[in-house]
């Protein structure tokens, strides 16, 4: 709760949890998010990988690693981490939206459409609409590409 209010005590409490062996993977992941928010990318990477050391199937660590790689414009590694997160927790809608963005930037329209459809199936009602425009654009692009290959 302190972390959500952006209070400095959150870092101390996460470090204490780690020292006491209490929810270590979650604590490292949350520290990584804090480090990322403050622009300390290397420290954020370290925290997320330490999270995975303590719980290899931790969902939020690869998801947040994907976000960091996306922010750094390393789309290949962002995609890999989003796909790993999907293997661990296939019911988290936002990872499919982020994956669709990566795939669409890489001109992988068919795969991006699949990811957006998955997002729309999982997302709550109002959030589904944010994918509509991207989905329409990708569908048109894919159709145009297929038509150009026929001609």
Tell me the CATH architecture of domain 1-90: Alpha Horseshoe (1.25)
Count the neighbouring beta carbons within 10 Å of the beta carbon of residue 151: 5
Domain boundaries, the chain: 1-90, 91-146
Q: What is the pLDDT along the chain (151 residues), one digit of tens a residue?
A: 444 555 668 888 899 999 999 999 999 999 999 999 999 999 999 999 999 999 999 999 999 999 999 999 999 999 999 999 999 999 999 999 999 999 989 989 889 999 999 999 999 888 887 778 777 877 777 777 666 666 5
What's the pTM value of the predicted model, to 2 decimals?
0.84
Which residue, chain included where needed, has tokens 């048109």? 140
Which residue, chain included where needed, has tokens 């959500």? 4
Q: What one-character-per-residue DSSP string does 3-61 give?
A: TTTT-THHHHHHHHHHHTTSSHHHHHHHHHHHHHHTT-HHHHHHHHHHHHHH-TT-SHH
């Amino acid at each position: 709760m302190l972390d959500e209010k952006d209070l400095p005590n959150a870092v101390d409490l996460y470090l204490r949890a780690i020292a006491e062996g209490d929810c270590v993977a979650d604590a490292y992941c949350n520290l990584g998010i804090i480090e990322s928010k403050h622009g300390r990318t290397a420290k954020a990477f370290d925290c997320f990988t330490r999270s995975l050391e303590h719980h290899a199937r931790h969902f939020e660590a690869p998801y947040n690693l994907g976000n960091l790689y996306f922010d750094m414009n390393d789309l290949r590694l962002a995609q890999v981490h989003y796909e790993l997160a999907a293997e661990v927790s296939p019911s988290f809608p936002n990872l499919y939206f982020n994956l669709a963005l990566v795939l669409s930037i890489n001109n992988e329209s068919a795969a991006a459409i699949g990811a957006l459809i998955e997002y729309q199936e999982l997302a709550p009602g109002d959030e589904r609409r944010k994918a509509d425009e991207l989905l329409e654009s990708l569908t048109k692009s894919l159709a145009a590409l297929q038509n150009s290959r026929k001609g």
